[in-house]
Amino acid sequence: MRITFSIIFLLLILALAACSYIAHHSHRTIGKAVSLLDAALIPPVLGNLLIIGSSRSIIAIVGYYIYFLGMDLVMYSLLTFTVAYCRGSGKGQRFPRFVYILLGVDAVQLLLNPLTGHAFATEAIVVEGTDYYRLVPMAGQFFHRLVDYGIFAGILLVFLVIILHTTRIYMEKYSIILAAMIVFGLWQTFYIFSRSPIDRSMVGFGVFGLLIFYFSLYYRPLRLLDRMLSDIASEMSDALFVFDPSSRCIWVNEQGFALTSVSDRDQEAAGERLVALFDETILGGTDQVVRRVVHTGGETGYYSIESKQVTDDRRRTAGFYLRVRDITQEQRRLKQEMYDATHDRLTGLYTREYLYTQIAETLTSRPSVPHVIIFVDVKNFKVVNDVFGTQFGDYAICSIADWIRKHAKDGHLYGRLGGDTFGICCPKEAFDREMIETELSHFKIRRGTMEHTVLIHLGIYEVAEGDTDVSVMFDRAHLSLSTIRDEYNTHIAYYDNEIRGQVLWDQEISAQLENAIRERQLRPYLQPIADAQGRIVGAEALVRWHHPKHGFLAPYRFIPIFEKNGMIVQVDRYMWRCACEILARWQKEGREQFISVNISPKDFYFLDVVTEIRALVAEYGIEPSRLRIEITETVMMDDAENRMQLLDALRRSGFVVEMDDFGSGFSSLNMLKDMPVDVLKIDMKFLGKSSNEAKSRTIVKNIIHLSNELGILALTEGVETQVQYEVLSEMGCTLFQGYYFAKPMPVQEFEEALHAA
């Protein structure tokens, strides 16, 4: 008996030591408290081992001391443990300090026992032939029991209170400890009163230590987790199906039943319906995510099905689950976003970017088929918008889009490139030029009673081998539009080598302009202007370019290019300066002639023309009236008010302002009365076109009369014959310019001519 218990106690001590060691090294916060408690449980067991294991009184007495002092340590560590263990419960944060003081006092009074003998003594007894030293308790021992039981009761109370207040799920955690403490406490009490020599309740101490160890460090509220996880699974928005290894469905959440329309909570039926809804392969067995599309009653549903194997500890298949997510909305949204990003909002056609990528793909995938790129431009769209309103404008754009749609066949790609431009790419042979030309010749937009003719031009570029950049192809198609001269009768233009050459020419000439001015390759030519008596009263300065490579260049070769890109400003400034230089010289030589210079509408955009010209005449010290300013009526096209003020300012400064090319554009005689000009230049070219010479004559006559009446001098240019000169003179014209007198000539030549006269 004694040996048996000695061995049991020894084993318990080892077990407790091991638990204490492990707990000490645990990463859990409660580890230290558990370690201390398990270590504290060792002394009472060790004490008892000594008590029962020795036949000598002194050892038994030492055993009792270890036992009792150990009990104080147990109580102390139990307090610490309780605080740590119950931390999460919101109760029992801390014990009052006097509890610890009491424990200290008790330990001290026990230690005084060898001197005072007030606490306990031992007596030898014989039980079943074996010697034991039994405890003889005295006052100090009763105090000790009072303290320990008191504290123990306090701890029990703390656990009890927590159990009453905590949720059911956590109750387990506390009640097991409480039950263990009550059982082992009673067991211990029984031994105290039984006065049996062997305290078997020490076994309880050991078991208690192990329980504490397990519950504190390894126990997880599995029931709680189960509940939570199954709640999550039940309530998640995806349908969940759990299968056993034989593919039998064993659990389905609400969404799963809803998806399979199984109402009687029959899992197996739900599993079967699921397979019927999709297919067998979703039970594929491996971890996978698959997509499935389901068509039911005209509705299309998109699903993402994730399957996952579940294995046990030994990696054997324990079953699998399927998580089915309805991604229909997501899919629709994606499709919508995709559509929005690739389609024009107003017309529903492809956007430019998308059209370009589509065309690039088609061209690379079908390189053997000759394709054309078509640039569609609505010519007078701004007028449509201004006159009929943007709503009608939008409608017109949609109508044009519909027209393109109507003619598009399979393999045609088309889209809206921008405001009033569209792009098309189609096989060359599919483009029916005649048919389109006819349709475009009377293209009308109708809405209710409103009807408006829109002018649509198509620029065509034939895709050549090696073409890759779609935007460049469209640029070329666009460029070809500039070759359309008779815009009401021609609607289709092709990009050809001529245009290609023109583009290269534009680029070359523009790049060289600055240098050409610096090197004086640009020179003013002077064309005489005569009066009614045939005397040369002045000249118009006209630019010429003596190009080192291309030779003599007339203005038509470069002026329109610079008018377009704004570089005309540089040309004109240079020409004004040249004119001033010449005038300054003439003034010195005592000549009276004036020089007219041209001012392009672009100059008014980019320059402060008035300041610029005033500064020039001041710099060269010439009389402003010697410098005549030629403007065209296009200058008045926008911001007429402001432009008129500028012309007025020029006139007030003493300059003579001339209206060039009168009759070529939209100007009317009526407009003349408001125009702040001194001279009207009427171009014979505009009149010569007319087949009815008599009519032309009448018009010129009237213009001259009217201008004379308004106090504006009339100048006819383009006078080529003596007859013209005489007739015009009779009509009252006082100034003349034209080949009849002389062509524009170099300055020196002009001066020599003057000299000779």
Q: Which residues bind ligand C2E (CB under 6 A)?
A: 527, 542-543, 554-556, 559, 568, 571-572, 575, 598, 600, 660-661, 717-720, 737-739, 744
Return the range that interacts with Ca ion (CB under 5 A); candidates 299-307, 563-571, 591-599, 740-748: 591-599
31 binds, among ligand C2E, Ca ion, none (CB under 5 to 8 A by kind): none
Min dist CB 612 to Ca ion, Å, is: 18
Quote the least distance from Cβ 698 to Ca ion, whole Å.
22
CB atoms within 10 A of CB 284: 13
Closer by beta carbon to Ca ion, 481 or else 597: 597
Yes or no: say if 652 and 666 are a contact pair by the CB < 8 Å rule. no
Task: Quote the least distance from Cβ 533 to ligand C2E, whole Å.
Answer: 19
Residues 6+ apart with CB under 8 A from 355: 349, 413, 414, 415, 417, 423, 425
Rule CB under 5 A: say whether 344 interacts with Ca ion. no
The stretch among 258-266, 545-553, 622-630, 697-705 that binds Ca ion (CB under 5 A) is: 622-630
> Residue 322, SS3?
strand
SS3 200: coil
Per the rule left: phi > 0, alpha: psi between -120 and 50, beta: everything else, 285 is left
Least distance from ligand C2E to the Cβ atom of residue 336, Å: 54
Query: Which tokens in the block code for residue 140?
Result: 């100090």
Q: Which is nearer to ligand C2E, 78 or 579 (CB)?
A: 579
DSSP label at residue 691:
S
Query: How distant, in Å, are the alpha carbons of 37, 240, 442, 590 from that of 199?
Result: 20, 57, 119, 146
Residue closer to ligand C2E, measured from CB, 401 or 543:
543
Closest distance to ligand C2E from the beta carbon of 596 (Å): 9
568 binds, among Ca ion, ligand C2E, none (CB under 5 to 8 A by kind): ligand C2E
CA distance 425 to 371: 7
Minimum CB separation from ligand C2E for residue 624, in Å? 19
Q: What's the token pair of residue 737?
A: 């310019």
Adjacent-strand bridge partners of 598: 630
Of the candidates 267, 598, 724, 734, which one interacts with Ca ion according to CB under 5 A? 598
Return the one option of ligand C2E, Ca ion, none that residue 559 interacts with (CB less than 5 to 8 A, by type): ligand C2E
- CA pair distance 562, 598, nearest whole angstrom: 14
**Residue 212 and residue 15 in contact, taking contact as beta carbons nearer than 8 Å:** no
For Ca ion, which is the closer residue by CB, 88 or 665?
665
| 543 interface partner picked from Ca ion, ligand C2E, none, CB below 5 to 8 A per type | ligand C2E
Contact of residue 720 among Ca ion, ligand C2E, none (CB under 5-8 Å per partner type): ligand C2E
Q: Return d(Cα 346, Cα 340) in angstroms, integer.
A: 11
Q: Which is nearer to ligand C2E, 315 or 485 (CB)?
A: 485
DSSP state of 633: G
As measured in angstroms, the least distance from the Cβ of 595 to ligand C2E is 11
User: Which one of Ca ion, ligand C2E, none interacts with residue 718, CB within 5 to 8 A by kind?
Assistant: ligand C2E
Q: Which one of Ca ion, ligand C2E, none is in contact with 423 (Cβ closer than 5 to 8 A by kind)?
A: none
Q: Which one of Ca ion, ligand C2E, none interacts with residue 142, CB within 5 to 8 A by kind?
A: none
Q: Measured from the CB atom, is 381 or 594 closer to Ca ion? A: 594
384 binds, among Ca ion, ligand C2E, none (CB under 5 to 8 A by kind): none
Q: Does 377 bind Ca ion (CB under 5 A)?
A: no
Q: Which tokens sit at 120? A: 């306990």
The DSSP H or E segment spanning 444 is strand 444-447
Contact of residue 40 among ligand C2E, Ca ion, none (CB under 5-8 Å per partner type): none
Minimum CB distance to ligand C2E smaller for 377 or for 661 = 661
Q: Closer to ligand C2E at the Cβ: 249 or 553? A: 553
Task: Provide the Cα torsion 249, 253, 254, 257; round to 10°.
Answer: -10
Residue of 332, 329, 350, 331 whose CA lies nearest to 341: 350
Q: Nearest-CA neighbor of 92 among 107, 80, 101?
A: 80
Distances (CA, A) of 669 to 539, 664, 705, 706: 26, 12, 11, 8
- DSSP E strands: which ranges in 517-637? 522-531, 536-547, 551-553, 594-598, 627-632
Q: Would you say 593 or 598 has its CB closer to Ca ion? A: 598
In the chain, how many H helices and how many E strands? 29, 24
Nearer to ligand C2E, 58 or 554 (CB): 554
Interface with Ca ion by CB under 5 A: which range of 232-240, 258-266, 507-515, 656-664? 656-664
DSSP string, 170-222: HHHHHHHHHHHHHHHHHHHHHHHHH--SS-THHHHHHHHHHHHHHHHHT---H
Which of 20, 716 has the CB closer to ligand C2E?
716
Q: What is the greatest pairwise CA distance in the chain?
A: 169
Q: How far is the CB of 558 from Ca ion (least distance, A)?
A: 16
Residue 207 CA to residue 12 CA, distance in Å, equals 8
- With respect to ligand C2E, which residue has the nearer C-beta, 329 or 748? 748
Query: Toward Ca ion, which CB reaches closer, 211 or 529?
Result: 529
Q: Which is nearer to ligand C2E, 201 or 527 (CB)?
A: 527
The length of the chain in residues reads 757
Between CA 41 and CA 72 the distance in angstroms is 10
Q: Which of residues 148, 377, 661, 678 is near Ca ion by CB under 5 A?
A: 661
Cβ of residue 555: shortest distance to ligand C2E, in angstroms?
4
38 binds, among Ca ion, ligand C2E, none (CB under 5 to 8 A by kind): none
CA gap 328, 336 in Å, rounded? 12
**Shortest Cβ 743–ligand C2E spacing (Å):** 6
Residue placing its CB nearer to ligand C2E in the complex, 86 or 636: 636
Q: What angle do CA 641, 646, 650 make, to 5 degrees?
A: 145
Minimum CB distance to Ca ion, residue 681 (Å): 5
Told to check if 633 binds Ca ion by CB under 5 A, we report: no
Cβ-based nearer residue to Ca ion, 1 or 671: 671
CA distance 41 to 46: 9
Helix, strand, coil shares of the chain, percent, nearest 5, are 55, 20, 25
Long-range contacts of 118-124 (CB under 8 A, 24+ apart): 119/68, 119/143, 119/144, 120/64, 120/68, 122/57, 122/60, 122/61, 122/64, 124/57
Q: Does 660 bind Ca ion (CB under 5 A)?
A: yes
- Minimum distance of Ca ion from residue 660's CB (angstroms): 4
CB of 575 to ligand C2E, least distance (A): 4
Q: Which does 293 bind (CB under 5 to 8 A by kind): Ca ion, ligand C2E, none?
A: none
Site residue total, Ca ion (CB under 5 A): 4
Rounded distance, CA 424 to CA 376, Å? 8
Q: Which listed range, 161-169, 226-234, 491-499, 625-633, lies at the site for Ca ion (CB under 5 A)? A: 625-633
Among 630, 633, 678, 751, binds Ca ion (CB under 5 A): 630
CB of 608 to Ca ion, least distance (A): 22
Strands 492-494 and 522-531: unpaired
In the complex, the residues that contact Ca ion under the rule CB under 5 A are 598, 630, 660-661
